Structure 1
């Protein structure tokens, strides 16, 4: 019998089948008919020198020898040598319908032939076509849009609107949240890895994060997900004790840190993205919403990563929580990689911005509007939301199978094509897997042609958020590669035992 006594990433006794039957063999990548264009740019070493000499180094590239990507098609990326990779991170959850999707490319090219830019001091038709189409996807009261260029900028504007509308200054977000890196959005963000030592959080309060895996409370029936934690759960059907406990902590914040009966608003990601695909307990956000509203505030749903059908069952992540926001921010998948974002709210809240001029030079420009409209059309025509649900559920269940057999997989979570796999050193303590071991697995996946994101405060969570055109075959390949990498780590660490 296999030795399973060590505390690291060991393999549990195999009582279910495995794709990776021969771990020395790289899993076979699904077929792709697309032929990448020949790379004609500067050499790899020159690119690296240019980066070293002329670019900020605040965001280090992925991998020990970073990839030089020059071509993409749907769920595939190609490096300068022509090697193909399955992109299961979607350009940081940004490529929604596929790299260089033909319909989106055509829409951008056609618009660029006639009008690139005028700003909104003039009328141009694509902006209004797009605004009407986009707002039709939201609850009826949310029908006024302000277009900007990034999620950070959108959240900055949303915070301004909340304060102007309510006349209050205090804003709440959750620990482990990421809302952007403008000075205002950095104040909303609550992860030390994304904080500079400058004043940025004036009037922002960070509530306890209702994390049912790493938090104080949580159990095996607390998440709206096909996969639950392995923690014991005493919740009765239709109830969530963890949600009640975390809500109590939020009440404490209101009681001790805020002016009585006054708050500007609550920011919440429907599923925390950069924080490691963290989901709130069922029912928690609805109760939090009611508490905020009863104290005069508004609820701002950050849909930068969860919007546009990615979570599968719903077009917007907030719908899974049973609430209707007062303000919604969105970006990333909105433009399938084109830099665009928006704040959508009610006419009443939007009117408060009229107190002074406020203008985004490039927000809602003709090309962005044409791209956004094409993305919505593709989402509808190719039923990417349904694909997110079907392929995502299949993927999550297959990942849960790995968790059941490999001790290094502490948790699998998510909804639709927004999945997280948290690696740990020890299941019982939930200590994060050491960075070196995590990077070894990550590098092995890349070498086998699989690109994954990395997140969580300790950088120990694989973020799996691919273009929504991926197939079940792609999902199975992803699982096979991860299993091969986990097995390699297992054998390496077993050999290191005395």
Structure 2
């Protein structure tokens, strides 16, 4: 992006921050001490009155009727009843800045009018039929989606989620190559079905069920990894896995460009080109999991894998593709796509007209409102401010990611990198009380995951950092 534009944006945001902060005197007025409280940016919208069940009533029913595996954030969970763009509202009409975006899912903004209109119009016309009949919604969206991908990646198969997309991608790779072995990364998360659970490599998300044929390579983690930021040294481990852990031939290598659930870990520079080369020499395909990093979220590129200059053979996506509507997709080449014609393969809801109409509307909004560029400008500024916060607070061990997919890792000691598991909960709860909802992840649960709607503004970024600063100062 033009550096002059970036400098101007940074200056304007700092100027607005100085003018927009709220000031309130502390109780110690005799010493003339001034305590600075972060002030939420103005937003010309009021949520309609809510008349439904209270948070306490919902929690009671949830404990009785929903799976006990379902957990929630905060000591007092928020009853979210309304959303508008980058903001959420609770049962009392209180506004919160959404810095998590429904786990990197809300791309255009909550209840974006264009997306809502597309959903309503399609629902009133045809809610569901089947892909056994013709309907233009699925083909129009597939064509638009294929136009955003490089090379010969132009054949789309729609699913309902990222887990389904990754399951299908793994099966296609195994069918196409005739091999079973798949290489994944330690710390990866690819889903919670049988195949994807095998590719996932965190014990927190794995049950003791049969998971065969997946080898987990050393994670190219620049912060905690064995070789720091040297991507090519990590890539050597994949060669070793192929030579010593397989027959010498593999089905695929699967990875996220930035590990989301794993704590916003961006793969070491130069890693993917070296690994893709090794995998292809072993007859395998390269699968890019873009469930969280796709659709302009990284700012600099539309897809996360583009940041390392590679072109995969199969791309999987979900989350931001539908702005909250359940839809996922697998995109591959015509040659690889042929493997599914060997038998009958079908998905009842994949390609549903309402979901594909919503996805197409999302794509149009991202392009028309320049949300990828906004993710780059605001994300770069936010990362700069978070790094400045790191200089101020010893508890911040690392700031990482790109665009509006950022991570802040908290540690009790920077040398030993001891995870600050308790402290992050305290900061998170304090931030919620001041009006910011933020995500949490990483293997140790000590990383803030910042994945807001892509309409996030510079003023929102300032408010987020000011609130985090205030909360950390209270530890």
The residue number in structure 2 matching 1:225 is none
Question: C-alpha deviations, 1:154-200, integer Å up to 9, x for none?
Answer: 0000000000000000001000000011111111110111011211x
Moved more, 282-291 or 249-258: 249-258
Quote the residue 1:252 is aligned against.
240
Does structure 1 retain, via aligned residues, the 8 Å contact 2:190–2:289?
A: yes
RMSD, aligned α-carbons: 1.4
Indicate conservation of the 8 Å contact 1:450/1:478, yes or no.
Answer: yes
Contact residue 315 and residue 332 of structure 2 kept, 8 A? yes
Q: Work out which structure has the larger RCO, using CA pairs closer than 8 Å and 6 or more positions apart in sequence.
A: 1
Whether the aligned pair in 1 keeps the contact of 2:109 and 2:454 (CA below 8 Å) is yes
What's 1:429 paired with?
416
Equivalent of 2:389, from 402, 405, 412? Answer: 402
CA contact (8 A) 1:20 1:483 kept: no
Determine which of 193, 200, 203 is the counterpart of 2:213.
203
Aligned residues: 448
- Is the counterpart of residue 475 in structure 1 residue 473 in structure 2? no
2:253 to 266, 272, 275: 266
On the 8 A contact 2:296/2:303 being kept in 1, the answer is yes
User: Does structure 1 retain, via aligned residues, the 8 Å contact 2:151–2:311?
Assistant: no
The offset of 1:37, in angstroms, is: 1.5
TM-score, structure 1 as length reference: 0.88
Q: Is the 8 A contact 2:404 2:451 kept in 1?
A: yes
Q: Counterpart in 1 of 2:105?
A: 94
1:81 correspondence with 2:92: yes
Q: Post-superposition shift, 1:58?
A: 1.1
Equivalent residue, structure 1, for 2:46: 35
- 1:214 paired to 2:224: yes
| 1:136 aligned onto 2:147 | yes
* Aligned match of 1:412: 399
Q: Deviations over 1:441-489 (max 9, x none)?
A: 1100000000110000000000001000010000000100000011011
- Cα distance in 2 for residues equivalent to 1:31 and 1:155: 41
- Shift in Å at residue 119 of structure 1? 1.4
Are the structure 2 counterparts of residues 328 and 47 from structure 1 closer, same or farther at C-alpha, using a change threshold of 3 Å?
A: same
Q: Return the alpha-carbon distance in structure 2 between the equivalents of residues 111 and 340 of structure 1.
A: 15
Contact 1:26 1:448 in 2 (8 A): no
TM superposition shift of 1:21: 8.7
What SS does the corresponding residue of 1:64 show, helix, strand or coil? coil
Structure 2 SS opposite 1:173: strand
Match of 1:346 among 329, 333, 355: 333
Specify the alignment match of 2:450 in structure 1.
464
What's the secondary structure of 2:258's corresponding residue?
coil
Which ranges of structure 2 fall in alignment gaps of 5 or more residues? 1-16, 25-33
CA distance in structure 2 between the partners assigned to 1:313 and 1:46 by the alignment: 44
Match of 1:286 in 2: 273
Q: How does 1:59-208 map to 2 (within 5 A)?
A: 59-199=70-210, 201-208=211-218
Residues 403 and 409 of structure 1 are in contact (CA less than 8 Å); yes or no, is this contact kept in structure 2?
A: yes
How many Å separate the matches in 1 of 2:23 and 2:225?
A: 36
Q: Tell me, what secondary structure is at the counterpart of 1:259?
A: coil
Moved over 2 A (4+): 17-26
CA distance in 2 between counterparts of 1:414 and 1:20 reads 30
1:374 aligns with 2:361: yes
Provide the TM-score with structure 2 as the length reference.
0.92
